[in-house]
Every structure is written in structure tokens, then in C-alpha cells.
Structure 1
Amino acid sequence: MESQHGATADELVAVTPVSDGRYLVCRTPGFFRGIAAGDVIDYDDRNKSAKVVERGGNVAVQVFHVGVPGNIIETLKKEAVKAGGRIDGELDRLVVLTFPVAVGFPAIESLLATLPEDGIEWEYGNVFDERGAPLAWWEGHE
């Protein structure tokens, strides 16, 4: 995985083997773009790349935070679960959320709009491609 600044890092993604070279993603990753929990992927170990072969119907959201009071993050997590989502990972400055696409983008964005502007950035992990174009996999899933 490579960041927009050219830095690279390895991330262990929780998967279950489905068949030869195919894996079911168990939890949405924090940094690996384009996939979410429930997706089935082909993984190329040599190139460290994954290709989604079947979408699981979940929306990945990464919430990065710095200097934000813990109670705000705890409230975010509780409200995400109340809205039908789940917490798939957490680091000191990151919360990884997974929502069934049926929850709807307006509900997800409404929840995230309650966060303070200072110290928080969020992004979808599997909604846009590298150029910012919508992937549109959710059409027919909503």
C-alpha cells in the first residue's frame, strides 16, 4: 500500500480463505483502499494487491483524529453502532467503521457531520477509485 505522499506500509487484513487465492474480508481494513468487510478478493502476494471479485454490500469509513477528546470518539462509535454500523478497528488516531450500504449514504454522512471540524478527517474506503470517480458497486444493493 502506498500513501499519497509516497510512503508505504504493510497492513494485515483479517481474511478467511474461500478458495485458492480467494479470501473473504472479515473486517474492513484501516488503510488498504477499495475493500470492506464482506468482500471476496483475489490477492496477489507478489504485488501486494487485492482485486474485489464480489462485493459484500458494506461501506468502509476511516475516521482519522488528532487531539479530539475521547468522549467524542466514544459517542461516534456508539452512534455508528446505533445506526446499524460496526467498529472494525481502532488505533490511537483512527477508527474504522463498516456500514451495510442499506443504512444509506445520507445517514452515514449525517452521523459524520456531527463531528467537530478541527482534528478530524474522514473518508470512504471503498466508494471512490484512485481518481475520485464513484465505484458505483452499491447500485442495486441499497
Structure 2
Amino acid sequence: MRDTEDSIDRSDFVGLPLRVEATSGASADEIVAVTRMSDGRYLVRLSPGFVRGIAAGDVIDYDDASKSASVIERGGNVAVQVFHRDTPEEIIETLKVNAVELGGRVDGELSSLVVLTFPLDTGFPAIESLLSLLPEAGIEWDYGNVFDAQGEPLSWWK
């Protein structure tokens, strides 16, 4: 992982609005934590909860007009978005503890969402094994930067 939880200095974060389009056609902006780099690009500091295709550690170009990002360099991290409802708090807390023990970190949390970031060398099987321990009822998870909008693998890890 490009950053570790202990090494992240959050004082240099800025919020970059990235447009998120829902399947219904509605859109909203998610404020994504980044650091502006000297070349005008941005380093994504925390994996987003709704924006697809990027993760912490990625270097992106930003288009002000469309509020979109294009990845210039992958940071080697896998983002996981875990959506939950009516899930006991102890299950979510156990997930977060287990994710950190596996080498990941918790990059964000809302009342119904947990955003996790894992270094690629954690491996997809280990990540999926962790997530398979979650109850099926009320929980959905997805990779944030593994598949494109059509569900095809981005294959950046190869």
C-alpha cells in the first residue's frame, strides 16, 4: 500500500468532487480525499465509497468540467465497498478488525457503508475469504477498482 494508516498525514488532504452516476440517471458528487501533486495531478489518499475505478494510492488526472478522473498510475491497492443495512454493529466492527489484521485499512465509513483498502499482494482469494464470513442478509460488497462499468475486469494488476 502506498500509504499506511500510521503514515498518512491527513493535514494535506483536499477534497476533490467526483461525479457519481446512478443507474437511475441521477447523479451526485462524492468528495474524494486527495493530495495535489507538483505536476497538477492528484494522489488519491483514501479509497472512495461510490466512485468506481480508483483506489487509495492511485495518481489521477482530473477534469473540472465533467468532475471525472482518469488513472495515470495505479497505486497497487484494491478498494472494497461494503454496503450494509440492519447489520449488527459487532459484525461490522469484526469486519474492520479482520481487514486490518489481513493488512488492509478502513478508509471510510458511513452508517451503511464501510470502505476498505488492501494492498494487491493481500490477494483476491484472501480478501474474498474475509468477505465470505459476512452474513448474506443485508450486506452487499463490491470491488471499487477491479471492474469497469460493464463488469469487465480492468486487469491493472497483471
Query: TM bucket by the smaller chain?
Result: over 0.9
Other structure's SS at 2:82 match: strand
| Amino acid in structure 1 at the alignment position of 2:24 | H
The gaps in structure 1 that reach 5 residues or longer are none
Name the counterpart of 1:113.
132
Task: Identify which of 91, 97, 102 aligns with 1:72.
Answer: 91
Name the counterpart of 1:63.
82
| Higher fraction of strand | 2
What number of residue pairs does the alignment pair up? 139
Does residue 82 of the first structure (1) align with residue 101 of the second (2)?
yes
| Amino acid in structure 2 at the alignment position of 1:44 | D
Task: Identify which of 20, 42, 45 aligns with 1:23.
Answer: 42
Other structure's SS at 1:73 match: helix
Runs of 4+ in 1 over 6 A off after TM superposition: none
Other structure's SS at 2:130 match: helix
**Deviation for aligned residue 1:21:** 3.4
Normalised to the residue count of structure 2, the TM-score between the two structures is: 0.86
**Deviation for aligned residue 1:19:** 3.1
Name the counterpart of 2:60.
41
Q: For 1:107 and 1:4, how far apart are their aligned partners in 2?
A: 30
**Deviation for aligned residue 1:20:** 4.2
Does residue 138 of the first structure (1) align with residue 157 of the second (2)?
yes
Does residue 53 of the first structure (1) align with residue 72 of the second (2)?
yes
Q: For 2:108 and 2:50, how far apart are their aligned partners in 1?
A: 11
Normalised to the residue count of structure 1, the TM-score between the two structures is: 0.96
Q: CA RMSD in A?
A: 0.7
Q: For 1:127 and 1:2, how far apart are their aligned partners in 2?
A: 18
Q: For 2:55 and 2:72, how far apart are their aligned partners in 1?
A: 12
The gaps in structure 2 that reach 5 residues or longer are 1-19
| Amino acid in structure 2 at the alignment position of 1:103 | T
